[in-house]
């Protein structure tokens, strides 16, 4: 590995510090917002932006250090870009289902009615009891 130019180190340091700032701002937003659904938004955005900053910093630093393009850190951000939105969506759906099951009044109704045909008798009664509770 060759010596890394100072300007590259400065840009990488700026990217890493900005990643830390994204996380701090996200933590502040997480603490200030009152509802679970609102609290999901800042960490998801900050996690994505912070990951991009760290990945770009890694690509820049190791490409300059090895005097060739180093692109394998792209795999990290590609995997994170696929998994973070899916995880956020699943957490939101679980929270929404739990709010409906608990009978919270300001929870939006389901988009479609629950189908009970084709289920065993015990499962159909549970589904119908939950759908009555949602209404």
Distance CA 106, CA 38 (A): 14
- Whether 61 maps to a domain, the answer reads yes
Query: Residue 97 phi/psi, 5° resolution?
Result: -60, -45
Q: What is the mean pLDDT of residues 88-111?
A: 85
Task: Find, among 77, 107, 75, 73, the residue nearest to 93 by Cα.
Answer: 107
Length of the chain: 135
- Whether 87 maps to a domain, the answer reads yes
Q: Please list, in sequence order, all residues whose beta carbon lies within 8 angstroms of the beta carbon of residue 91, skipping any fewer than 6 positions away.
A: 40
- Whether 1 maps to a domain, the answer reads no
Question: Do 115 and 52 fall into the same domain?
Answer: no
- Whether 123 maps to a domain, the answer reads yes
Question: Do 85 and 34 fall into the same domain?
Answer: yes
Residue 6: per-residue pLDDT = 94
- Whether 22 maps to a domain, the answer reads yes
Confidence of residue 126 (pLDDT cuts 50, 70, 90): low
Residues 31-71 pLDDT 10s: 888 888 888 888 888 888 999 999 999 999 999 999 999 98
Question: Do 66 and 123 fall into the same domain?
Answer: no
Torsion of the alpha carbons at 16, 20, 25 and 26, rounded to the nearest 10: 100
Confidence of residue 125 (pLDDT cuts 50, 70, 90): low
Residue 114: per-residue pLDDT = 58
Residue with tokens 């840009």, as numbered in its chain: 11
Residues 108-120 pLDDT 10s: 887 776 554 554 5
- Whether 119 maps to a domain, the answer reads yes
Question: Do 19 and 68 fall into the same domain?
Answer: yes
Question: Do 95 and 122 fall into the same domain?
Answer: no
Domain count, the chain: 2
Question: Do 46 and 13 fall into the same domain?
Answer: yes
Question: Do 117 and 85 fall into the same domain?
Answer: no
Contact 107, 98 (CB under 8 A): no
Q: Average per-residue pLDDT in the chain?
A: 83
Residue 40: per-residue pLDDT = 84
Question: Do 59 and 118 fall into the same domain?
Answer: no
- Containing structural domain, residue 121: 110-135
């Amino acid at each position: 590995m060759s010596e890394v130019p100072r300007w590259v180190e400065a840009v990488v340091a700026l990217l890493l510090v900005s990643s830390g700032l994204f996380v701090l701002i996200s933590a502040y937003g997480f603490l200030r917002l009152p509802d679970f659904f609102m609290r999901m938004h800042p960490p998801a955005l900050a996690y994505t932006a912070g990951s991009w900053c760290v990945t770009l910093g890694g690509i820049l630093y190791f490409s300059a250090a090895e005097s060739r393009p180093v692109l394998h850190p792209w795999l990290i951000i590609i995997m994170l870009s696929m998994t973070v939105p899916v995880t956020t969506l699943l957490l939101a759906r679980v929270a929404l289902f739990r709010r409906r099951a608990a009978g919270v009044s300001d929870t939006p109704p389901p988009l479609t009615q629950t189908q009970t045909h084709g289920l065993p008798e015990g499962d159909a009664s549970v589904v119908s009891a939950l759908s009555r509770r949602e209404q």
